Structure 1
Amino acid sequence: MQNSSNQSYLFKIWRSAVIPYLLVVFIVFFITLICLPLANTERYYLVSYLLLFALFIMATLFRLGPVLLAATLSSLAWNFFFIPPHNTFHIEKTDDILMFVLFFSIAMLNGVLTTRIRRQEQLARDRELRTKVLFQLTQQLSKAGSIDEVLKIAVEEINAQFGFTVFFILQDGNNILFQTGRLQKEKKLNTDEYNIAEWCFKNRTEAGAFTTNRSDLEYTFYPMPGTKVNPGVLATKQEKPVAGENRTFWLTFITQISNAIEREFLAEMATKARFLDESDRLYKTLFNSISHEFRIPVATIMGASDSLLSSPHPANIQSELHNEIFTASVRLNRLIENLLNMSRLESGQLSVSLDWCDINDLFNKVLEDLSGELEPFKVKVTIPENMPLVKIDFGLMEQVLYNLLFNATQYSAPLTKIELSSAHQNDELVIEIADRGTGFPDSTIEKVFTKFYRVDGTKTGGLGLGLSIVKGFVEAHSGIITVENRKTAGARFIIRIPTEKPDIKNLFLDNE
Structure 2
Amino acid sequence: MKPTKGIDKKSTSQPAKTAGHYAFSILVIGITVLICIPLSSNQGYHVVSYLLLSVVSLLATFMGIGPVFVASALSALVWNYFFIPPNYTFHIDKAEDILMFGLFFIIAMLNGIFTTRVRRQEQLALERENRTHTLFQLTRNLSKASGTNEVLNVANAEIETHFGITPYFILQNGMNKLIINPEKKDSTFLTEKQHSIAEWSFTHLQKAGAFTQNFTADENTYIPLPGAKITPGVLVYKAKEQFSGNKKTFWDTCITLIANALEREFLEEQAQKARFLDESDRLYKTLFNSISHELRIPVATIMGASDTLLNSNNSADTQAALCSEIFTASIRLNRVIENLLNMSRLESGRISARPNWHEINDLFNKVTEDLQNELKPFNVITSISENMPLVKIDFGLMEQILYNLIFNATQYAPVTSDITLSAEHVNNFLVLKVSDNGPGFPEDALPCVFNKFYRGTINKTGGLGLGLSIVKGFVEAQKGIITVKNRETGGAVFTLTVPSEKPDIEHFEINEP
Which residue is 2:137 aligned to? 136
What is the match of residue 490 of structure 1?
A: 491
Partner in structure 1 of residue 197 of structure 2: 196
Q: CA deviation at 1:400?
A: 0.6
User: How far apart are residue 425 of structure 1 and its match?
Assistant: 2.5
Determine if contact 2:4/2:238 at 8 Å carries over to the other structure: no
Give how far 1:226 is off: 1.7
CA-CA distance at 1:444 after TM superposition: 2.1
Q: Which residue of 2 aligns with 1:397?
A: 398
Contact kept, 8 Å, 1:2 with 1:217, in 2: the verdict is: no
Higher relative contact order (CA 8 A, sep 6+): 2
Distance 1:502 1:7 in 2: 71
Residue of structure 1 equivalent to 2:373: 372
In structure 2, the partner of 1:151 is 152
Deviations 1:69-105 (A, max 9, x none): 3222322333344434455544332122111110111
Match of 1:448 in 2: 449
Is the contact between residue 168 and residue 234 of structure 1 (CA under 8 Å) also seen in structure 2?
Answer: yes
Residues 332 and 186 from structure 1, CA distance in 2 versus in 1: closer, same or farther, beyond 3 angstroms? farther
1:263 maps to 264
Q: 1:421 to 1:496 in 2, by over 3 A?
A: same
Task: Classify 1:19/1:195 alpha carbon distance in 2 versus 1 (closer, same or farther; 3 Å).
Answer: farther
What is the deviation of 1:292? 1.0
Cross-structure match for 1:422? 423
Q: Partner amino acid for 2:187?
A: K
The residue type paired with residue 223 of structure 1 is: P
Q: How does 1:335-484 map to 2 (within 5 A)?
A: 335-484=336-485
* Matched-pair contact (CA < 8 Å) for 2:378–2:416: yes
Distance 1:145 1:352, change over 3 A: same
TM-score normalized by the length of structure 1:
0.89
Structure 2 Cα separation of the partners of residues 409 and 447 of structure 1:
20
Rate the CA distance shift 1:41–1:92 in 2: closer, same or farther, 3 A.
farther
How far apart, CA to CA, are the structure 2 residues paired with 1:426 and 1:2? 61
Deviation, 1:194, is 2.4
Structure 1 residue 25 corresponds to structure 2 residue 42:
no
Contact residue 39 and residue 83 of structure 1 kept, 8 A: no
Between the aligned partners of 2:426 and 2:483, the Cα distance in structure 1 is 16
The answer to whether the 8 A contact 2:4-2:165 is kept is no
CA–CA distance in structure 2, aligned partners of residues 225 and 78 of structure 1: 62
Q: Is this contact kept in 2: 1:432–1:492, CA < 8 A?
A: yes
Counterpart Cα distance in 2 of 1:478 and 1:491: 23
Which residue of structure 2 aligns with residue 247 of structure 1? Answer: 248
**Distance in structure 1 (CA, Å) of the matches to 2:302 and 2:17:** 92
The Cα shift of 1:327 comes to 2.4
Distance 2:245 2:18 in 1: 17
Deviates more, 1:136-145 or 1:334-343: 136-145
CA–CA distance in 1 between the matches of 2:450 and 2:243? 57
Answer yes or no: is the 8 Å Cα contact 2:22–2:70 preserved in 1: yes
The more displaced of 315-324 and 416-425 is 315-324
Give deviations 1:459-497, integer Å, cap 9, x for gaps. Answer: 321011111111121122222222222333322222222
- Check 1:112–1:209 CA distance in 2 against 1; reply closer, same or farther (3 A cut): same
Q: Distance in 2 between matches of 1:34 and 1:510?
A: 103
2:340 aligned counterpart, secondary structure = helix
Q: Is the deviation greater in 315-324 or in 274-283? A: 315-324
**Rounded Cα–Cα distance in structure 2 between residues aligned with 1:51 and 1:444:** 87
Q: Cα RMSD (Å) of the superposition?
A: 3.1
Give unpaired runs (5+ residues) of structure 2.
none
* Matched-pair contact (CA < 8 Å) for 1:9–1:240: no
SS in 2 for 1:95: helix
CA drift of 1:35 comes to: 4.7
Identity of aligned residues (%): 57
Displacement of 1:509 in angstroms is 12
TM-score by length of 2: 0.89
2:223 maps to 222
Counterpart secondary structure, 1:444: helix
> How much has 1:129 moved relative to structure 2?
2.0
Partner of 1:333: 334
CA shift in 2, pair 1:47/1:2, >3 Å:
farther
Unaligned runs of 5+ in 1: none
Partner of 1:305: 306
Q: Quote the Cα distance in structure 1 between the aligned partners of 2:179 and 2:32.
A: 63
Q: Is the 8 A contact 2:4 2:166 kept in 1?
A: no
Count of residue correspondences: 510
Counterparts in 2 of 1:53-202, with a 5 A limit? Answer: 53-180=54-181, 183-188=183-188, 189-202=190-203
Structure 2 counterpart of 1:357, which letter?
H
